[in-house]
Every structure is written in C-alpha cells, then in structure tokens.
Amino acid sequence: IVEAMAMAKPVVSTAVAGNTEFVHDRETGMLVPPGDATALARAVVYLVRNPAEAARIGRQAAEFVRDRVDNRKRSERFESLYYDILRRKGHR
C-alpha cells in the first residue's frame, strides 16, 4: 500500500489496523469495510469515473508518505529527538 501511495496512486484498502495508519478515507486513499466486496467495487468504480479526484487523492498520498514515511526524514526526526533529550539531561 505504502509503495503505491509513494507513487501517487490512489489506493483502496480495507479499514483495518495498520492500513488506517496510512490510508485516510478520501484524503490519502479510500477505505472500505473488511469483507465488503460491494464497497470495494464501488470505491474502484468511483476512482475510475472521477480521475481528477483519483489524482488528487494520489497526490495527497504521495505527500503523506514523503512527510511521514521517508527514512531520511524519519532519521532526522529521531536525531532531533535524541539531541533534545540529551540537552534536557545536561549532556553535550
């Protein structure tokens, strides 16, 4: 899912733990209830019939992945956090 999102592809996913960390309904993808084939089909048809909306969701998904999943950015956030902790403890 994350790889597709990173490539700005709109995803349709089941609304289960793990997926909902990345896929926010109609923002970074589309969520459907687990086991609901009709909802899955409707979501796919919606994206096919609404290419501008599909593109918007895809762009937002790619931005979401870049901001939150990119390893370099994640490393920078951890490094900053560690330095903040060390400063609070009085270390250099």
3-state secondary structure of 31: strand
Query: What residues contact residue 50 under an 8 Å CB cut-off, 6+ apart?
Result: none
Give the pair of three-digit tokens for residue 28: 């970074």
- The pTM of the full predicted model, rounded to 2 decimals, is 0.75
Residue 92 pLDDT more than 80?
Answer: no
Q: Are 38 and 44 in contact (CB under 8 A)?
A: no
How far does CA 72 lie from the centroid of its chain? 17
pLDDT of residue 74: 73
Q: Which residues pair with 21 in a beta bridge?
A: none
Tell me: the pLDDT tens digits for 15-67? 999 999 999 999 999 999 999 999 999 999 999 999 999 999 999 999 999 88
Query: The CATH number of 2-89 is which of 3.40.640.10, 3.40.50.1390, 3.65.10.10, 3.40.50.2000?
Result: 3.40.50.2000
